[in-house]
Amino acid sequence: MTTRTGTAIIDPTIETRDDLLAPFIKGEKPAERWRIGTEHEKFVYRRADHRAPSYDEPGGIRDLLLELTQFGWEPVMEGDNVIALAGPDGNVSLEPAGQFELSGAPLEHLHQTCAETGRHLEQVKTVGEKLGLGFLGLGMWPDKSRAELPIMPKGRYAIMLRHMPRVGNLGLDMMLRTCTIQVNLDYASEADMAKKFRVGLALQPLATALFANSPFTEGKPNGYLSYRSHIWSDTDPARTGMLPFVFEDGFGYERYLDYALDVPMYFVYRDGKYIDAAGQSFRDFLKGELPALPGEKPRATDWTDHLSTAFPEVRLKSFLEMRGADGGRWSKICALPAFWVGLLYDSQALDAAWDEVKHWSLEERQRLRDEVPKLALNAVTPSGETLRELGGRILDIAAAGLGARNRLNAAGDNESGFLDPLRDIVARGTTPAELLLARYHGEWGGDVRHIYEELSF
């Protein structure tokens, strides 16, 4: 989730609807300025006993952050607590139960993305060796109950933890027990944004299936291949989902703006503190009638904060976020941006991907989204084939898109090789979650603790 890394020098009051539209319009960039921002989360555990460390304990999350400053990271404070790091490779931040996230810098090509990921993982592993910490790449804690997990000292999380049980049954699991990989991508215009948004939403179930990696809850199979994806279906219906309006004629910035205004608020940030505004209306805020802050109108940063509290499968800010994938190993962190860059950053690939899904109805898209957490690649698309069958063609389109970009490394390779882990999954028809379940029922003998030996970075 978004972490503030400083106070805005210029933070004007929002006066008009144009002020609300400004972040979307300012996000427009010519293709030569499009960048790739990759975010990935991982679980932190004590090697000695697999316990999730607290923030304050010796060798815990605070010490992990502070030790990383030896690599040039600068601490980001909230009150007296360091809650994030800022540096050339982006930001390191904390999810509510101490899940450790790199929000990478905006980079030109996937070779840089994978190098950035490698640097980050080497840094955390170096510090982990010193502190006795390990790092696990999965979509959900395989063995931890909510009660076993610590809470990080971030003001926005305290507000969200209070609010989540009021609006859904699994929101606390989303906050405390899940990890994801996502990629942030640019657009050239409103029309380009709309087309990428539609392709991203329609194919998000395929990404969920390819990256399905959360089959365990509290040490046992949970009946899902991506339980993380299922969790989002019962978190908060006012701020999650497949956004049917994106496929309506005329969709653009104005329609997304209206959606975002109708998403209930969580908080307002003032003078270094988060003020609880959970469930209140940003529309009231615009009128100076917010109960949490009567008489005040929102600033530009309030709107930026609010846009970060909507959690649909694809999210618009000043870029598009693809949000459907479970957390996973190093190769998957590189594969997720390769999948979406290949589809969305080449015009012919984008057209070809849209041709695959443009005839699907609202109901068909939703049915596919609902079935994927359990069935993954075996879910049947509106075209009557499995996602595995569709996935082979979509990966071919993505590979062609990456080939057309012709971004080469020192060995002369283009970016399409980063799709190889996904090609392997489609070829064998077995997701990462199914491989884990086979190990659990086989050589692990029903003991999920083996996952720490085999899935750690």
Q: What is the pLDDT of residues 6-24, one digit of tens each?
A: 556 789 999 999 999 999 9
Q: State the Cα–Cα distance between residues 67 and 131, nearest whole angstrom.
A: 9
Can you read off the two tokens belonging to residue 3? 């972490």
CB atoms within 10 A of CB 437: 17
- Position 276 in a domain: no
321: domain CATH number is 3.30.590.20
Round to whole Å and give the CA distance between 62 and 40.
Answer: 19
Please write the tens of the pLDDT for every residue from 175-231.
Answer: 999 999 999 999 999 999 999 999 999 999 999 999 999 999 999 999 999 999 999
> In this structure, are residues 426 and 395 in contact, taking their beta carbons and an 8 Å threshold?
yes
The residue among 18, 39, 15, 80 whose CA lies nearest residue 287 is 15
Which residue range(s) make up the domain with 228? Answer: 17-263+310-446
Q: Which of 336, 129, 376 is nearest to 230 (CA)?
A: 376
Task: Give which of 129, 132, 152, 131 is closest to 41, Cα–Cα.
Answer: 152
Distance CA 124, CA 100 (A): 10
Structural element, H or E, at residue 310: none
How far is residue 345 from each of residues 35, 36, 195, measured CA to CA in Å? Answer: 10, 10, 11
Residue 8 lies in a domain: no
Task: Give the up-direction half-sphere exposure of residue 372: CA atoms within 13 A in the CB hemisphere.
Answer: 31
Please report whether residue 297 resides in a domain.
no
Number of separate domains in the chain: 1
- Residue 298 covered by a domain: no
How confident is the model over 312-333, as a mean pLDDT? 97
For residue 49, give both structure tokens. Answer: 């006993």
Joined together, the tokens standing for residue 309 give: 């509290």
CA distance 13 to 287: 12
Q: Residue 6 domain-assigned?
A: no
| pLDDT value at residue 2 | 59
Q: What CA–CA distance (Å, rounded) separates 320 from 314?
A: 7
Do the domain assignments include residue 277? no
For residue 233, tell me if it sits in a domain.
yes
Per-residue pLDDT band for 3 (boundaries 50, 70, 90) equals low
Question: Is 3 among the domain residues?
Answer: no
Q: Which two tokens stand for residue 336?
A: 């997720």
Task: Give the chain's mean pLDDT.
Answer: 97
Q: What is the pLDDT of residues 109-162, one digit of tens each?
A: 999 999 999 999 999 999 999 999 999 999 999 999 999 999 999 999 999 999
52/138 Cα distance (integer angstroms)? 14
